[in-house]
Amino acid sequence: MTSVNGGELRVRVVSRRLVKASDESIRPHVLAVSNLDLIPQTIQVSMFCIYPKPSTGGDFHDVVAAFAAGLPSLLNHFFPLAGRIVTNPCSGLPEIHCHNQGAELVVGEANVALSSLDYGTMGSSIEKILLPYAGDVALSVQVVSFACGGFTVAWGTNHVLVDGSALSMLVGAWSELARSGALAAGARPNHDRSVFRPRAAQSYDASLDKEFTPLDDGERQVNVLTSDESFVARLYYIDAAEIARLREAANRDDGGARATRVQAVSAYLWKALATAVGARDERCRMVWWVDGRRRLTSSPERRAAMRNYVGNVVTFALAEATVDEIQRKPLPEVVSMVRHAITEEPAYDERFQELVDWAEEHKTERYMETVCIGLGSPTTPSHCPGQELVSEPSARNLPKPSSPKGGGRGVGYRAEVAVIPNGVVVF
Protein backbone atom coordinates (compact mmCIF):
# COMPACT_ATOMS: atom_id res chain seq x y z
CA MET A 1 0.00 0.00 0.00
CA THR A 2 1.03 3.58 -0.49
CA SER A 3 -0.39 6.93 0.48
CA VAL A 4 -2.39 8.53 -2.32
CA ASN A 5 -3.62 12.01 -1.44
CA GLY A 6 -4.47 10.87 2.05
CA GLY A 7 -5.95 7.53 1.00
CA GLU A 8 -4.55 4.04 0.62
CA LEU A 9 -3.92 2.44 -2.77
CA ARG A 10 -4.79 -1.24 -2.69
CA VAL A 11 -4.97 -3.49 -5.72
CA ARG A 12 -6.98 -6.67 -5.24
CA VAL A 13 -6.55 -9.55 -7.67
CA VAL A 14 -10.00 -10.61 -8.86
CA SER A 15 -8.94 -13.38 -11.23
CA ARG A 16 -5.87 -14.86 -12.89
CA ARG A 17 -6.11 -17.17 -15.87
CA LEU A 18 -4.05 -18.51 -18.77
CA VAL A 19 -4.96 -17.60 -22.34
CA LYS A 20 -3.55 -19.68 -25.19
CA ALA A 21 -3.03 -18.99 -28.87
CA SER A 22 -5.96 -20.24 -30.93
CA ASP A 23 -4.05 -21.37 -34.04
CA GLU A 24 -3.55 -25.09 -33.53
CA SER A 25 -1.40 -25.38 -36.66
CA ILE A 26 1.57 -23.69 -34.94
CA ARG A 27 3.90 -26.49 -33.93
CA PRO A 28 5.61 -26.50 -30.52
CA HIS A 29 9.25 -25.49 -30.75
CA VAL A 30 12.15 -24.06 -28.78
CA LEU A 31 13.25 -20.52 -29.64
CA ALA A 32 16.90 -19.75 -29.00
CA VAL A 33 17.54 -16.16 -27.99
CA SER A 34 20.11 -14.05 -29.82
CA ASN A 35 23.34 -12.76 -28.33
CA LEU A 36 21.78 -9.29 -28.25
CA ASP A 37 18.97 -10.72 -26.09
CA LEU A 38 21.53 -11.92 -23.56
CA ILE A 39 23.02 -8.46 -22.96
CA PRO A 40 20.12 -6.97 -20.92
CA GLN A 41 19.81 -10.17 -18.83
CA THR A 42 16.55 -11.86 -17.84
CA ILE A 43 14.78 -9.02 -16.07
CA GLN A 44 11.07 -8.33 -16.11
CA VAL A 45 9.91 -5.24 -18.02
CA SER A 46 6.50 -3.77 -18.74
CA MET A 47 4.56 -1.20 -20.69
CA PHE A 48 1.89 0.56 -18.68
CA CYS A 49 -1.19 2.16 -20.25
CA ILE A 50 -3.81 4.27 -18.49
CA TYR A 51 -7.35 4.72 -19.83
CA PRO A 52 -10.00 7.14 -18.56
CA LYS A 53 -13.58 6.01 -18.11
CA PRO A 54 -14.93 5.05 -21.56
CA SER A 55 -17.17 7.75 -22.99
CA THR A 56 -18.74 5.44 -25.56
CA GLY A 57 -20.60 3.21 -23.13
CA GLY A 58 -19.71 -0.20 -21.81
CA ASP A 59 -18.04 -0.98 -18.52
CA PHE A 60 -15.03 -2.78 -17.11
CA HIS A 61 -16.60 -6.18 -17.69
CA ASP A 62 -16.66 -5.40 -21.41
CA VAL A 63 -12.98 -4.49 -21.26
CA VAL A 64 -12.07 -7.79 -19.62
CA ALA A 65 -14.23 -9.68 -22.10
CA ALA A 66 -12.44 -7.94 -24.98
CA PHE A 67 -9.06 -9.07 -23.68
CA ALA A 68 -10.23 -12.62 -23.07
CA ALA A 69 -11.63 -12.81 -26.60
CA GLY A 70 -8.80 -11.00 -28.39
CA LEU A 71 -5.63 -12.31 -26.75
CA PRO A 72 -5.74 -15.73 -28.49
CA SER A 73 -5.54 -14.01 -31.89
CA LEU A 74 -2.73 -11.73 -30.69
CA LEU A 75 -0.77 -14.75 -29.45
CA ASN A 76 -1.08 -16.37 -32.87
CA HIS A 77 1.23 -13.60 -34.09
CA PHE A 78 3.34 -13.42 -30.92
CA PHE A 79 3.46 -17.15 -30.22
CA PRO A 80 6.67 -17.09 -28.10
CA LEU A 81 4.83 -14.91 -25.58
CA ALA A 82 2.50 -17.84 -24.93
CA GLY A 83 5.54 -19.93 -23.97
CA ARG A 84 7.86 -20.14 -20.99
CA ILE A 85 11.39 -18.90 -20.32
CA VAL A 86 13.56 -21.89 -19.42
CA THR A 87 17.24 -22.25 -18.58
CA ASN A 88 18.96 -24.80 -20.80
CA PRO A 89 20.57 -27.31 -18.40
CA CYS A 90 23.58 -27.83 -20.68
CA SER A 91 24.45 -24.27 -21.70
CA GLY A 92 22.97 -22.44 -18.72
CA LEU A 93 21.44 -19.94 -21.16
CA PRO A 94 17.78 -18.91 -21.37
CA GLU A 95 15.60 -20.20 -24.17
CA ILE A 96 11.89 -19.96 -24.92
CA HIS A 97 9.83 -23.16 -24.88
CA CYS A 98 7.01 -22.29 -27.26
CA HIS A 99 4.51 -24.98 -26.31
CA ASN A 100 1.48 -22.69 -25.98
CA GLN A 101 1.46 -22.90 -22.22
CA GLY A 102 -0.49 -19.65 -22.22
CA ALA A 103 -0.06 -15.98 -21.38
CA GLU A 104 -1.44 -14.64 -18.11
CA LEU A 105 -4.56 -12.50 -18.02
CA VAL A 106 -4.85 -10.93 -14.58
CA VAL A 107 -7.87 -8.87 -13.54
CA GLY A 108 -7.65 -6.58 -10.53
CA GLU A 109 -9.43 -3.67 -8.91
CA ALA A 110 -8.11 -0.60 -7.09
CA ASN A 111 -10.00 1.40 -4.50
CA VAL A 112 -8.93 4.88 -5.63
CA ALA A 113 -9.46 7.15 -8.62
CA LEU A 114 -6.79 7.47 -11.29
CA SER A 115 -6.61 11.21 -10.67
CA SER A 116 -5.51 10.63 -7.07
CA LEU A 117 -2.24 8.94 -8.03
CA ASP A 118 1.06 10.75 -7.78
CA TYR A 119 2.37 10.01 -11.27
CA GLY A 120 5.54 12.02 -10.70
CA THR A 121 6.78 9.43 -8.23
CA MET A 122 6.78 6.05 -9.93
CA GLY A 123 7.38 4.11 -6.73
CA SER A 124 4.14 5.34 -5.19
CA SER A 125 1.94 5.06 -8.28
CA ILE A 126 2.73 2.98 -11.36
CA GLU A 127 5.03 0.51 -9.63
CA LYS A 128 2.38 -0.15 -6.97
CA ILE A 129 -0.20 -1.10 -9.59
CA LEU A 130 2.03 -3.66 -11.33
CA LEU A 131 1.34 -7.13 -9.97
CA PRO A 132 4.07 -9.78 -9.56
CA TYR A 133 4.23 -12.71 -11.97
CA ALA A 134 6.42 -15.81 -12.20
CA GLY A 135 9.89 -15.46 -13.66
CA ASP A 136 9.27 -17.99 -16.42
CA VAL A 137 6.08 -16.31 -17.69
CA ALA A 138 6.63 -14.70 -21.09
CA LEU A 139 3.59 -12.40 -20.98
CA SER A 140 1.36 -11.19 -18.17
CA VAL A 141 -1.46 -8.84 -19.21
CA GLN A 142 -2.83 -7.08 -16.14
CA VAL A 143 -6.11 -5.15 -16.36
CA VAL A 144 -7.01 -3.15 -13.25
CA SER A 145 -10.18 -1.12 -12.70
CA PHE A 146 -10.29 2.09 -10.64
CA ALA A 147 -13.00 3.77 -8.59
CA CYS A 148 -13.42 6.53 -11.19
CA GLY A 149 -14.40 4.06 -13.93
CA GLY A 150 -11.01 4.24 -15.64
CA PHE A 151 -8.60 1.34 -15.85
CA THR A 152 -4.96 0.44 -16.49
CA VAL A 153 -3.37 -2.23 -18.64
CA ALA A 154 0.14 -3.48 -17.88
CA TRP A 155 1.90 -5.60 -20.48
CA GLY A 156 4.49 -7.48 -18.45
CA THR A 157 7.17 -9.61 -20.09
CA ASN A 158 10.93 -10.21 -19.91
CA HIS A 159 13.80 -8.23 -21.42
CA VAL A 160 15.31 -11.40 -22.87
CA LEU A 161 12.31 -11.47 -25.23
CA VAL A 162 11.82 -7.82 -26.16
CA ASP A 163 13.24 -4.34 -26.06
CA GLY A 164 11.11 -1.19 -25.82
CA SER A 165 10.33 -1.11 -29.53
CA ALA A 166 9.23 -4.73 -29.62
CA LEU A 167 7.03 -4.26 -26.57
CA SER A 168 5.47 -1.21 -28.20
CA MET A 169 4.96 -3.27 -31.35
CA LEU A 170 3.01 -5.81 -29.28
CA VAL A 171 0.69 -3.13 -27.89
CA GLY A 172 0.30 -1.60 -31.34
CA ALA A 173 -0.63 -4.99 -32.78
CA TRP A 174 -3.26 -5.40 -30.06
CA SER A 175 -4.74 -2.04 -30.99
CA GLU A 176 -4.86 -2.94 -34.68
CA LEU A 177 -6.45 -6.32 -34.00
CA ALA A 178 -9.01 -4.68 -31.72
CA ARG A 179 -9.94 -2.18 -34.43
CA SER A 180 -9.83 -4.28 -37.58
CA GLY A 181 -9.68 -7.92 -36.50
CA ALA A 182 -6.50 -8.56 -38.51
CA LEU A 183 -2.88 -7.50 -38.86
CA ALA A 184 -1.75 -6.07 -42.18
CA ALA A 185 0.89 -8.19 -43.90
CA GLY A 186 3.49 -5.48 -43.38
CA ALA A 187 2.80 -5.35 -39.64
CA ARG A 188 3.31 -9.02 -38.83
CA PRO A 189 6.13 -9.61 -36.36
CA ASN A 190 9.39 -11.38 -37.15
CA HIS A 191 10.69 -13.65 -34.37
CA ASP A 192 13.69 -15.07 -36.28
CA ARG A 193 16.77 -14.44 -34.13
CA SER A 194 19.15 -15.99 -36.67
CA VAL A 195 19.67 -12.58 -38.27
CA PHE A 196 22.17 -11.86 -35.47
CA ARG A 197 24.84 -14.53 -35.78
CA PRO A 198 28.41 -14.24 -34.48
CA ARG A 199 31.20 -14.27 -37.02
CA ALA A 200 33.25 -17.46 -37.32
CA ALA A 201 36.19 -15.54 -35.91
CA GLN A 202 34.78 -13.14 -33.35
CA SER A 203 36.12 -9.62 -33.73
CA TYR A 204 35.42 -6.52 -31.68
CA ASP A 205 37.17 -3.43 -30.42
CA ALA A 206 38.92 -3.82 -27.07
CA SER A 207 36.94 -0.86 -25.73
CA LEU A 208 33.85 -3.08 -25.54
CA ASP A 209 35.34 -4.82 -22.51
CA LYS A 210 35.16 -1.51 -20.66
CA GLU A 211 31.59 -0.86 -21.74
CA PHE A 212 30.33 -3.78 -19.65
CA THR A 213 30.87 -4.57 -15.98
CA PRO A 214 30.44 -8.08 -14.50
CA LEU A 215 27.61 -8.22 -12.00
CA ASP A 216 29.90 -10.01 -9.55
CA ASP A 217 32.34 -7.08 -9.53
CA GLY A 218 31.81 -6.06 -5.92
CA GLU A 219 33.97 -2.95 -6.17
CA ARG A 220 31.82 -1.35 -8.87
CA GLN A 221 28.30 -2.22 -7.77
CA VAL A 222 25.76 -0.19 -5.88
CA ASN A 223 25.34 -1.18 -2.24
CA VAL A 224 21.95 -2.90 -2.05
CA LEU A 225 21.51 -1.58 1.49
CA THR A 226 21.56 2.00 0.21
CA SER A 227 20.10 1.48 -3.27
CA ASP A 228 16.77 3.10 -2.38
CA GLU A 229 18.63 6.30 -1.52
CA SER A 230 20.91 5.98 -4.57
CA PHE A 231 18.16 5.81 -7.19
CA VAL A 232 15.13 8.04 -7.55
CA ALA A 233 12.69 7.34 -10.41
CA ARG A 234 10.40 10.19 -11.38
CA LEU A 235 8.17 11.08 -14.32
CA TYR A 236 7.97 14.59 -15.75
CA TYR A 237 5.63 15.97 -18.37
CA ILE A 238 6.26 18.67 -20.94
CA ASP A 239 3.45 20.19 -22.96
CA ALA A 240 3.80 19.61 -26.70
CA ALA A 241 3.73 23.37 -27.30
CA GLU A 242 6.82 23.71 -25.11
CA ILE A 243 8.55 21.02 -27.16
CA ALA A 244 7.73 22.97 -30.33
CA ARG A 245 9.16 26.18 -28.86
CA LEU A 246 12.26 24.31 -27.72
CA ARG A 247 12.80 22.99 -31.25
CA GLU A 248 12.56 26.49 -32.67
CA ALA A 249 15.12 27.74 -30.16
CA ALA A 250 17.40 24.81 -31.03
CA ASN A 251 17.48 25.52 -34.78
CA ARG A 252 20.44 27.26 -36.35
CA ASP A 253 20.03 30.62 -38.07
CA ASP A 254 22.11 29.53 -41.06
CA GLY A 255 19.42 27.21 -42.39
CA GLY A 256 21.12 23.99 -41.30
CA ALA A 257 19.37 20.76 -40.37
CA ARG A 258 16.26 21.33 -38.30
CA ALA A 259 16.50 19.98 -34.74
CA THR A 260 14.36 16.93 -34.09
CA ARG A 261 12.38 16.60 -30.90
CA VAL A 262 14.86 14.10 -29.46
CA GLN A 263 17.81 16.31 -30.33
CA ALA A 264 16.23 19.47 -28.93
CA VAL A 265 15.17 17.86 -25.65
CA SER A 266 18.53 16.09 -25.31
CA ALA A 267 20.45 19.32 -25.77
CA TYR A 268 18.23 21.06 -23.23
CA LEU A 269 18.76 18.26 -20.69
CA TRP A 270 22.52 18.25 -21.29
CA LYS A 271 22.71 21.97 -20.58
CA ALA A 272 20.51 21.50 -17.50
CA LEU A 273 22.87 18.75 -16.28
CA ALA A 274 25.89 21.00 -16.79
CA THR A 275 24.21 23.75 -14.78
CA ALA A 276 23.39 21.30 -11.98
CA VAL A 277 26.94 19.93 -11.92
CA GLY A 278 28.51 23.39 -11.88
CA ALA A 279 31.97 23.43 -10.32
CA ARG A 280 31.62 20.00 -8.72
CA ASP A 281 32.95 18.19 -11.80
CA GLU A 282 34.92 19.21 -14.85
CA ARG A 283 33.02 17.04 -17.34
CA CYS A 284 29.51 15.72 -17.98
CA ARG A 285 28.07 13.37 -20.58
CA MET A 286 24.89 12.28 -22.29
CA VAL A 287 23.89 8.71 -23.12
CA TRP A 288 21.26 7.76 -25.68
CA TRP A 289 19.68 4.31 -25.90
CA VAL A 290 19.38 3.79 -29.63
CA ASP A 291 16.97 1.49 -31.49
CA GLY A 292 18.94 -0.18 -34.28
CA ARG A 293 16.04 -1.34 -36.44
CA ARG A 294 16.11 1.62 -38.81
CA ARG A 295 19.88 1.97 -38.63
CA LEU A 296 20.93 -1.51 -39.78
CA THR A 297 21.16 -1.10 -43.53
CA SER A 298 24.08 -3.28 -44.65
CA SER A 299 21.88 -5.46 -46.88
CA PRO A 300 18.30 -5.59 -48.20
CA GLU A 301 17.78 -8.84 -46.28
CA ARG A 302 18.75 -7.28 -42.97
CA ARG A 303 16.60 -4.20 -43.60
CA ALA A 304 13.62 -6.45 -44.31
CA ALA A 305 14.28 -8.58 -41.22
CA MET A 306 14.46 -5.49 -39.01
CA ARG A 307 11.16 -4.01 -40.18
CA ASN A 308 9.07 -5.79 -37.53
CA TYR A 309 11.74 -7.63 -35.59
CA VAL A 310 10.75 -8.84 -32.12
CA GLY A 311 13.79 -9.08 -29.88
CA ASN A 312 16.56 -6.81 -28.64
CA VAL A 313 18.25 -4.41 -31.07
CA VAL A 314 19.39 -1.65 -28.73
CA THR A 315 22.75 -0.06 -28.07
CA PHE A 316 23.88 3.26 -26.67
CA ALA A 317 25.63 6.30 -28.06
CA LEU A 318 27.65 8.47 -25.70
CA ALA A 319 29.01 12.00 -25.87
CA GLU A 320 31.15 13.72 -23.25
CA ALA A 321 32.31 17.31 -22.93
CA THR A 322 33.50 19.77 -20.33
CA VAL A 323 30.87 21.41 -18.17
CA ASP A 324 32.14 24.79 -19.29
CA GLU A 325 31.73 23.91 -22.98
CA ILE A 326 28.11 22.77 -22.56
CA GLN A 327 27.24 25.82 -20.48
CA ARG A 328 28.95 28.24 -22.86
CA LYS A 329 27.65 26.90 -26.17
CA PRO A 330 24.23 28.07 -27.39
CA LEU A 331 21.50 25.46 -27.68
CA PRO A 332 21.84 24.98 -31.49
CA GLU A 333 25.52 24.08 -31.11
CA VAL A 334 24.77 21.53 -28.41
CA VAL A 335 22.11 20.10 -30.74
CA SER A 336 24.85 19.63 -33.35
CA MET A 337 26.89 17.69 -30.78
CA VAL A 338 23.87 15.52 -30.04
CA ARG A 339 23.18 14.91 -33.73
CA HIS A 340 26.80 13.93 -34.36
CA ALA A 341 26.84 11.49 -31.42
CA ILE A 342 23.65 9.72 -32.50
CA THR A 343 23.57 9.80 -36.28
CA GLU A 344 27.02 10.63 -37.63
CA GLU A 345 29.62 9.01 -35.39
CA PRO A 346 28.44 5.39 -34.92
CA ALA A 347 28.69 2.81 -37.73
CA TYR A 348 25.70 0.87 -36.48
CA ASP A 349 26.01 -2.24 -38.66
CA GLU A 350 29.54 -2.87 -37.38
CA ARG A 351 28.59 -1.77 -33.87
CA PHE A 352 25.85 -4.38 -33.56
CA GLN A 353 27.99 -7.10 -35.15
CA GLU A 354 30.74 -6.39 -32.62
CA LEU A 355 28.17 -6.61 -29.81
CA VAL A 356 27.05 -10.01 -31.14
CA ASP A 357 30.67 -11.20 -31.29
CA TRP A 358 31.47 -9.84 -27.83
CA ALA A 359 28.42 -11.49 -26.30
CA GLU A 360 29.40 -14.79 -27.95
CA GLU A 361 32.61 -14.82 -25.91
CA HIS A 362 30.89 -13.66 -22.71
CA LYS A 363 27.50 -15.37 -22.96
CA THR A 364 27.94 -17.42 -19.79
CA GLU A 365 28.69 -14.29 -17.73
CA ARG A 366 26.34 -11.78 -16.14
CA TYR A 367 27.09 -8.14 -16.76
CA MET A 368 25.55 -4.73 -17.29
CA GLU A 369 26.43 -1.58 -19.21
CA THR A 370 29.06 0.34 -17.26
CA VAL A 371 27.33 3.67 -17.97
CA CYS A 372 24.35 2.42 -15.94
CA ILE A 373 26.38 1.97 -12.77
CA GLY A 374 26.92 5.68 -12.17
CA LEU A 375 30.71 5.81 -12.33
CA GLY A 376 32.65 8.48 -14.18
CA SER A 377 31.33 11.88 -15.20
CA PRO A 378 27.75 12.88 -14.31
CA THR A 379 25.48 11.39 -16.96
CA THR A 380 21.98 12.03 -18.26
CA PRO A 381 20.33 9.10 -20.09
CA SER A 382 17.89 9.52 -22.96
CA HIS A 383 16.06 7.37 -25.48
CA CYS A 384 16.55 7.68 -29.22
CA PRO A 385 13.63 5.82 -30.81
CA GLY A 386 13.51 4.38 -34.28
CA GLN A 387 11.44 7.35 -35.41
CA GLU A 388 10.76 10.77 -33.97
CA LEU A 389 9.54 11.25 -30.43
CA VAL A 390 5.97 12.45 -30.86
CA SER A 391 2.88 12.74 -28.73
CA GLU A 392 2.18 9.02 -28.85
CA PRO A 393 3.67 6.25 -26.70
CA SER A 394 6.83 4.35 -28.16
CA ALA A 395 10.04 3.54 -29.74
CA ARG A 396 8.15 2.99 -32.95
CA ASN A 397 6.35 6.23 -32.24
CA LEU A 398 5.09 4.57 -29.06
CA PRO A 399 1.83 3.41 -30.74
CA LYS A 400 -1.40 4.95 -29.53
CA PRO A 401 -2.91 2.42 -27.14
CA SER A 402 -6.50 2.25 -28.32
CA SER A 403 -9.09 1.05 -25.89
CA PRO A 404 -9.54 -2.73 -25.91
CA LYS A 405 -12.73 -2.25 -27.93
CA GLY A 406 -10.88 -0.31 -30.61
CA GLY A 407 -11.87 3.25 -29.70
CA GLY A 408 -10.60 5.98 -27.43
CA ARG A 409 -7.11 6.70 -26.21
CA GLY A 410 -4.93 5.82 -23.31
CA VAL A 411 -1.87 7.11 -21.59
CA GLY A 412 1.27 5.10 -22.33
CA TYR A 413 4.21 4.39 -20.06
CA ARG A 414 7.46 2.72 -21.02
CA ALA A 415 10.70 2.75 -19.08
CA GLU A 416 11.84 6.38 -18.71
CA VAL A 417 9.48 7.69 -21.38
CA ALA A 418 5.73 8.01 -21.18
CA VAL A 419 3.43 9.88 -23.52
CA ILE A 420 -0.11 11.20 -23.29
CA PRO A 421 -1.69 11.20 -26.77
CA ASN A 422 -3.46 14.54 -26.26
CA GLY A 423 -0.16 16.30 -26.75
CA VAL A 424 1.68 16.03 -23.44
CA VAL A 425 5.02 14.23 -23.43
CA VAL A 426 6.11 12.73 -20.12
CA PHE A 427 9.74 11.91 -19.23
293 and 367 together in one domain: yes
Q: Classify each residue of 52-62 as buried b or exposed e, where b means 16 or more C-beta atoms within 10 Å of its C-beta.
A: bbbeeebebee
Q: How many CB atoms lie within 10 A of CB 297?
A: 11
Same domain, 216 and 236: yes
Do 265 and 314 sit in the same domain of this protein?
yes
Number of domains in the chain: 2
| 348 touches 295 (CB < 8 A) | yes
Residues 413 and 354 in one domain: no
CA dist 312 and 306 (Å) reads 11
Same domain, residue pair 262 and 408: no
The enclosing domain of 217 has a CATH number of: 3.30.559.10
- Reading phi first (left if > 0) and then psi (alpha if -120 to 50, else beta), residue 5 is in left
299, 370: one domain: yes
Residues 369 and 245 in one domain: yes
Q: Say if residue 330 is in the same domain as residue 410.
A: no
Based on the fold, state whether residues 160 and 265 are members of the same structural domain. Answer: no
Look up the pTM and report it: 0.85
Cβ contact 157:167 at 8 Å:
yes
Long-range contacts of residues 203-209, Cβ cutoff 8 Å, at least 24 apart: 203/354, 203/357, 204/354, 204/355, 204/357, 204/358, 205/354, 208/354, 208/355, 208/358, 209/358
What is the structure's pLDDT at 219?
Answer: 63
pLDDT per position in the chain (427 positions), as tens?
Answer: 344 543 478 999 999 999 999 999 999 999 999 999 999 889 999 998 999 888 777 789 999 999 999 999 999 999 999 999 999 999 999 999 999 999 999 999 999 999 999 888 888 888 889 999 999 999 999 999 999 999 999 999 999 999 999 999 999 999 999 989 999 888 899 999 999 999 999 999 999 999 998 877 666 565 655 656 666 677 877 888 999 999 999 987 777 788 999 899 999 999 999 999 888 889 999 988 899 999 998 889 889 999 999 999 999 898 999 999 999 999 999 999 999 999 887 799 999 999 999 999 999 888 888 887 766 666 666 655 543 332 222 233 333 344 444 433 443 333 333 333 333 333 3
Q: Return the pLDDT at 250.
A: 92
282 with 180, same domain?
no
Cβ neighbours for 240, distance < 8 A, ≥ 6 positions apart: 391, 423, 424, 425
> Would 8 be classed as within a structural domain?
no
Specify whether 282 is located in the same domain as 339: yes
The CA distance from 265 to 389, in Å, is: 10
C-alpha–C-alpha distance, residues 20 and 79, integer Å: 9
Domain of 44? 14-20+28-197+392-426
- Is residue 272 a part of any domain in this protein? yes
- CB neighbour list of residue 361: distance below 8 Å, 6 or more residues apart: 202
- The backbone torsions φ and ψ at residue 210, rounded to the nearest 5 degrees and listed phi first, read -85, -15
**d(Cα 93, Cα 37) in Å, to the nearest integer?**
11
d(CA 37, CA 308) in angstroms, rounded, equals 16
Does 131 map to a domain? yes
* The one-letter amino acid at 7: G
Is residue 51 located within the same domain as residue 183?
yes
The answer to whether residue 61 is domain-embedded is: yes
Sign of the C-alpha dihedral, residues 127, 129, 134, 138? negative
Q: Where are the alpha helices (DSSP H) in 83-163?
A: 126-129
In angstroms and rounded to an integer, the radius of gyration of the C-alpha atoms of the chain is: 22
Q: Is residue 202 part of a domain?
A: no
